[in-house]
Amino acid sequence: MIKMKWYFSVPIFLILIVDQSMKVQQEYLKRKDKKDPSLKKIETVRNYFNPLICVLAIVGFSFYAIRQKNEFGKNFSWIKLLFHSTCKTK
């Protein structure tokens, strides 16, 4: 989430919070009543979260990488992008 803009990171973070909240609710309902009809709905919704998070992360990182490549031009390095955390000094 560090190598992407906030408008990709925040939705990922919010989806993770919702997913974990739904997981807690799902576990509670399983203990209380294994035949609760909302269990299937919760499971269905949660099954969409992982692919959505992956897509947002890939798209967010891609946008960030393109921005960095445009900014640094010939000095752009995938190694530095992926493995260094230093800030640019002006």
Query: For 53-71, what is each residue's pLDDT tens digit?
Result: 999 999 999 998 999 899 8
Q: Which residues contact 85 (CB under 8 A, 6 or more apart)?
A: 2
**Rounded mean pLDDT of 40-56?**
94
Q: What is the model's pTM?
A: 0.76
Q: Distance between CA 37 and CA 75 in Å, rounded?
A: 57
Look up residue 75 and give its DSSP letter: G
Tokens 């393109």 label which residue? Answer: 66
**Rounded mean pLDDT of 9-23?**
95
Where do runs of H (alpha helix) occur along 1-90? Answer: 6-32, 38-72, 78-83
Look up residue 83 and give its DSSP letter: H
Residue type, position 36, single letter: D
Domain residue ranges in the chain: 6-83
Per-residue pLDDT at 39 exceeds 70: yes
Going by pLDDT thresholds of 50, 70 and 90, the confidence category of residue 89 is: low
Q: Which structure tokens are listed for 62?
A: 């891609």
